[in-house]
Structure 1
Amino acid sequence: MTARATSGTPLRASAQDGTHPRPTLIRESWTSLDGTWDFAHDVEDRGLAEHWFAGGSAGGGASDATRPDPLDRQIQVPFVPECEASGIGDRGFHPVVWYRRTARVSPPAGHRALLHLGAVDHEAMVWVNGRLAGQHTGGQTAFTVDLTDHLADDGTAVIVVRAFDDPHDVDLPHGKQDWEERPHGIWYDRTTGIWRSVWIEIVPEQHVTAFTAETDLARCRVEVVVDLARRPRPGTRVRVELSSTTDRGTEQLGAIELDAVEPRVAGAVEISALRNTQARDRLLWRPGHPHLVDARILVLASDDDGADAGAGAVRDEAFGYLGLRTVGVDRGRFLLNGEPCYVRSVLEQGFWPGTHLTPPSADACREEVELILDLGFNAARIHQKTEDPRLLFQADRQGLMIWGETANAYTYSPRAVSALSAEWAEIIAQYRAHPSIVTWVPINESWGVRDLADHPGQRQLALAMTALTRALDPSRPVVSNDGYEHTGGDLLTVHDYCTDPPRLRAHYADAAALERTLTGMGPQGRRPVLDGATELGPDAPVMLTEFGGIAFAVAETWGYAVVGSEEEFTERVGGLFEAVTASPLLAGFCYTQLTDTQQEANGLSTADRRPKLDAAVIRGFVTGQAGA
């Protein structure tokens, strides 16, 4: 990666090249383990009993010389075995898979070697040199395994990963992964095992594990939170330095040094440059002006921690970034930096031909954001998955607002409640550092709570997920249940797949029409707001967060409406956008969808990211300036 401006100067996390798997918290060196790993499907689930984790190395070799190596195939990580890019391309039902790779690391004294796994769907066990080193449950979030105490004398680490993901377990958050052998309807190929980058990082024993920041424009300051790996020794201090770099040079915005008493250290950095409210726009993050502020985070030694240079010596140095921005709602409008912001969003399935839910490259992440912006959108709703942090970095850097969502389960049960809430809490903790994320969506279209309107427990789950989101991150609006059957939340979002432009316009044309739409059974045959949803105030912004879905393809396909020519596609899509943007009452929209995805060919672009119409034509529709 490249993030250093000039030799000898601190890293600038905002200027990295986009390849780092965790762009919001970086250090100068890291080692990718993406590439070739040994692999096996465990069809009979016998690997644990036979100790597949006990031996071998990358390139072959079995723990028992009398039998063949069970991990006798090779896979390209981080691509899942269901996709062609992995080199496996087997889309059948294989709940248990195994991986193995050898690495060599030699952490200096007082340092640790950490193995980071970006995401493993759904349950993971990790062995190092035959010893269990870590476990994790949750297919959408990253986790870390400490290799240090398991390394061989020469630094060798034979890393073995076992993943288990039952495609028929309806309690688990599967999102749009199909439970049938082949994709059908709006469901796509499954994701099993490792599907995000794997990498190694050498860190001091006491080091920064997370950095987040929340902007307080009213008080001209930034609330920063630094998490440490372990309870600090008395006298340990944490220093945070914020700077802004433009073509005019680097400006030091502020700094704070704090006593580290607990593993979580928090404080406020005063930003005097924000005090001139007439001039502060140059520092604020927003679409069209995605200014990022760099953060340098230092852990300073205590008197008795053995640091060679004594108290004040730098024990760890990490780098992050933030966007100075606030989000909220007021008087029927979505607010960005205290001002109304009309949300022009597109539904992003985040699915690529050949690589499925994993972006094919860092360049593909950059190009995806560029495409969305080029088509006139200022936001994207990531649908039924968490997105690759490298793509979110591009959204941070290019100025694309993101609605953060999670995969949902297909049923309601105590186990499903536990799985959803635990994984959602991890998602918020790991993703809230991205300034591009402006809204949270824990539930979509009553998935997993299909009887929400009549089942007290399901209703309480929707309320609880909203409350949990606010408790973990009160700085962003939350949607209680995107599409309909709202129990609370901050936004009243509606899904409306009426594909006749005049009829769609009539649903939102004026206050009386909107009242009929919101108080009736709703466009999708479900009540937009449930009785007693007192948390959802009368001034909550109303957004049409799914509409469109027009399929245009020559082959048999799926869509909410299918057209047969480019002319008909232009007329229908343009008419739907005109109907929506004409409403004076809607605070934003989300069009379905950005790309064709397998058999669901209702994208504005093909699956290989080629717009179906001239980009300028689509941009005119999206911005309400068609023909201007």
Structure 2
Amino acid sequence: MKIKSKNGTNKKFYPLIFSLFLLGGSFLTQNVTAREVDSDPTIQNVMGRETVSLDGQWGVIIDPYETGYYDYRYQPSENGYFKDQKVQKPSDLIEYNFDTGPTLNVPGDWNTQDDQLFLYEGTVWYKRTFNYLPNENERQFIYFGAANYEAHVYLNGELVGHHIGGFTPFNTEVTDHLNDGQNTLIVKVDNQRKREAVPTVNTDWWNYGGITRSVSLITVPDTFIEDYFIQLDPESSNTVKGWVQMNGSNRANQTLTIKIPEANIEKQFRTDEMGIAEVEFTADLEKWSTRNPKLYDVILEIPEETIEDQIGFRTIRQKDGEILLNGEPIFLRGICIHESRPFGGGRANNSADAEVLLGWVKEMNGNYVRLAHYPHNEHMVRMADKMGILVWSEVPVYWTIQFENPEVYANAERQMREMVDRDHNRASVILWSLANETPRSEARFTFLSNLAEAVRELDSTRLVTAALETQSRGEGVIGIHDPMEEVVDVIGVNSYCGWYGNMPPEQCSDLRWESDSNKPVILSEFGGGALQGYHGDENERWTEEFQDAVYESNLEMIDNISFVRGTSPWLLKDFRSPRRPLPRFQDFWNRKGVISDEGLKKKAFFTIQDWYEKKKQEWEE
């Protein structure tokens, strides 16, 4: 298992390795890494700590020209909106006012809260005031579940944090920036798409802008438990291994106690000079599984702090073409999900949303979800832990990002690290996905291979995958052929027979599949679209009957593919996409969901439900 370094990041510096590789190993003198991110290493298990919620109504300023950030010479201003200046005398010229302008809900996206912002991409400034009285020997951090895409965080007029990436958490220490009493928090959020970003300019989902997940003020003691990784050793069914990272002036030579009361476990460990305690002990623990999602209360204690989490213990491996959960072969009966609210558009962002979405998966007889195409909110993976649903989690290395650009790689690896850091104690998460439908090239292979090496350094207890595309080898034959087959543990394949291309749905069942690998394969995407409630002939596009015919034939095809060990059709619920403008049938919705944007099930939902019931019986689950 990976042991973290002093600052909570990996000892191995992959962005530099990657850049040297691309330049033939020559030594670089210029800085080739991504723009420095000012946020601190992410604190683990924020939901289990002492926090003050900063959610609610925030004052906002819409700033398409970024007037609040740049002066008229387009240089960063020292007197921008983050100063929150007030008129002191009648002659003062201050051309903004948070307090008399509009407001937006946090968490939430701005696109679905204001019709004028439906298509807006650019900068919005957010302001929230709060009262706080700091105590001695305590430290405070402001934590963001996510803000899309680039966030500058100001507290009482000072820049305290900066983060790039729209789907991963970040926090910044504000202990020395808090006032006794009232404090003003201002966040500049910019969701402009950029060619050099991750994801890049071209996606098939709505670019929801804003502070899309919860914000909280975290209080911790001077020395606290920053992060921990407590999991079963993948090579053992009764050995728990991992590490705990302390943060603070007294982190060295600390006594750490780990308790699992239900299992009568109480073990003590000592931290090294870096504040790291390596953990290993044997325990007879009931295994977490899809049939029995057992979670244990795990307590971590140091003299200054006690943290409690709910952790499941299981192993996941692949061997001889099988996916092994706790040593037993399993077939993943799943579906893809975008982070879209169950009813309507906009970002899903709370536990109730997660319960509805994953409840539909259970109703479908599913045991697995692919969270596409970016890390979803923490409520989703914690609810999956409780409900016994396995999770494929992915970073937005999507389609045609700049694989030759070292800064893009550094950004992608950072987002991968932040995703893994947040969820590495979640039993439900079994697959870290590197990418989706990326075009083959030498630069892409190098990029994704290094990303795979980085994620394995972070976490050796889970499997690595990527959603690849198929190649036809001849008439009636579909071949899986991609250099990434040798890199990943589980091969994901996207294939849209009967929807894209000229082949009618009824011919899909006659296709024969071949694979050169002995690794398990997941059909990570397949399916077609339909407007819920629109009925007609099964040869008529957009009818529920057409979508259902696509599924009937594809599922029959999959029954004849001997090496498939899981499926995640595209997808559970209709979602917003600017690539789908067709009036009446799409209206900026991707209609490939088997549930409509209003939460109504289409015919294909029940076809999948029946097929999964048969698979459930076949695999005796």
Name which of structure 1's ranges 87-96 and 254-263 shifts more when overlaid on structure 2: 87-96
Residue 55 of structure 1 is aligned with which of 60, 84, 108? Answer: 84
Which structure 2 residue ranges, 5 or more long, are not aligned? 1-41, 70-76, 471-481, 499-503, 577-588
Task: Map 1:169-180 to 2 at 5 A.
Answer: 169-174=194-199
Give the match for residue 158 of structure 1: 184
Residue 524 of structure 2 is aligned with which of 524, 542, 545? Answer: 545
Residue type matched to 1:437 in 2? V
Residue type matched to 1:600 in 2? N
Q: Distance in 1 between matches of 2:355 and 2:247?
A: 32
Residue 394 of structure 2 is aligned with which of 405, 418, 441? Answer: 405
| Residue 473 of structure 1 pairs with residue 502 of structure 2 | no
Change in 2 beyond 3 A, CA 1:111/1:63: farther
Residue type matched to 1:260 in 2? T
Residue 90 of structure 1 is aligned with which of 114, 117, 132? Answer: 117
Partner of 1:544, secondary structure, is strand
Give the match for residue 18 of structure 1: none
Residue 449 of structure 2 is aligned with which of 463, 475, 481? Answer: 463
Change in 2 beyond 3 A, CA 1:614/1:546: closer
| Residue 127 of structure 1 pairs with residue 126 of structure 2 | no
Whether the aligned pair in 2 keeps the contact of 1:113 and 1:203 (CA below 8 Å) is yes
Residue 588 of structure 1 is aligned with which of 566, 573, 587? Answer: 566
Whether the aligned pair in 2 keeps the contact of 1:255 and 1:269 (CA below 8 Å) is no
Task: Map 1:36-47 to 2 at 5 A.
Answer: 36-47=57-68
Q: Distance in 1 between matches of 2:292 and 2:322?
A: 21
Change in 2 beyond 3 A, CA 1:296/1:63: farther
Q: Per-residue deviation at 1:241?
A: 0.8
User: Once the two structures are superposed, what CA deviation does each residue of 1:47-106 show, in whole Å capped at 9, x if it has no partner?
Assistant: 1324211136xxxx568954243432211111121123xx46503344222111111122
Task: Map 1:438-517 to 2 at 5 A.
Answer: 438-446=430-438, 450=439, 452=440, 455-484=441-470, 485-487=482-484, 488-499=487-498, 503-507=507-511, 513-515=512-514
User: Once the two structures are superposed, what CA deviation does each residue of 1:298-329 show, in whole Å capped at 9, x if it has no partner?
Assistant: 112xxxxxxxxxxxxxx111111221101111
Count of residues in correspondence between the two structures: 528
| Residue 620 of structure 1 pairs with residue 619 of structure 2 | no
Whether the aligned pair in 1 keeps the contact of 2:232 and 2:240 (CA below 8 Å) is yes
Q: Per-residue deviation at 1:540?
A: 0.7
Partner of 1:434, secondary structure, is coil
Whether the aligned pair in 2 keeps the contact of 1:441 and 1:482 (CA below 8 Å) is no
Partner of 1:464, secondary structure, is helix
Task: Map 1:193-592 to 2 at 5 A.
Answer: 193-216=210-233, 218=236, 220-230=238-248, 232-243=250-261, 251-261=262-272, 262-271=274-283, 273-274=284-285, 283-300=286-303, 315-352=304-341, 356=345, 358-359=347-348, 361-408=350-397, 410-412=400-402, 413-414=404-405, 415-446=407-438, 450=439, 452=440, 455-484=441-470, 485-487=482-484, 488-499=487-498, 503-507=507-511, 513-515=512-514, 518=515, 538-553=517-532, 563=541, 565-592=543-570
| Residue 144 of structure 1 pairs with residue 171 of structure 2 | yes
Whether the aligned pair in 1 keeps the contact of 2:232 and 2:239 (CA below 8 Å) is yes
Whether the aligned pair in 1 keeps the contact of 2:368 and 2:391 (CA below 8 Å) is yes
Q: Distance in 2 between matches of 1:350 and 1:63?
A: 45
Q: Per-residue deviation at 1:33?
A: 1.2
| Residue 109 of structure 1 pairs with residue 121 of structure 2 | no
Q: Distance in 2 between matches of 1:43 and 1:583?
A: 51
Q: Per-residue deviation at 1:342?
A: 0.6
Whether the aligned pair in 2 keeps the contact of 1:551 and 1:562 (CA below 8 Å) is no
Whether the aligned pair in 2 keeps the contact of 1:462 and 1:480 (CA below 8 Å) is no
Q: Per-residue deviation at 1:38?
A: 0.9
Q: Per-residue deviation at 1:457?
A: 2.1
Change in 2 beyond 3 A, CA 1:134/1:112: same
Q: Distance in 1 between matches of 2:187 and 2:492?
A: 41
Change in 2 beyond 3 A, CA 1:562/1:589: farther
Which structure 1 residue ranges, 5 or more long, are not aligned? 1-20, 180-185, 244-250, 275-282, 301-314, 508-512, 520-537
Whether the aligned pair in 1 keeps the contact of 2:109 and 2:210 (CA below 8 Å) is yes
Q: Distance in 2 between matches of 1:431 and 1:62?
A: 46
Whether the aligned pair in 2 keeps the contact of 1:358 and 1:388 (CA below 8 Å) is no
Q: Per-residue deviation at 1:555?
A: 7.2
Residue type matched to 1:256 in 2? K
- TM value normalised by structure 2: 0.78
Give the match for residue 17 of structure 2: none
Q: Per-residue deviation at 1:480?
A: 4.4
Q: CA RMSD in A?
A: 3.0
Q: Percent identity, aligned pairs only? A: 20
Q: Per-residue deviation at 1:594?
A: 0.6
Q: Per-residue deviation at 1:149?
A: 1.4
Q: Per-residue deviation at 1:165?
A: 3.0
Change in 2 beyond 3 A, CA 1:337/1:329: same
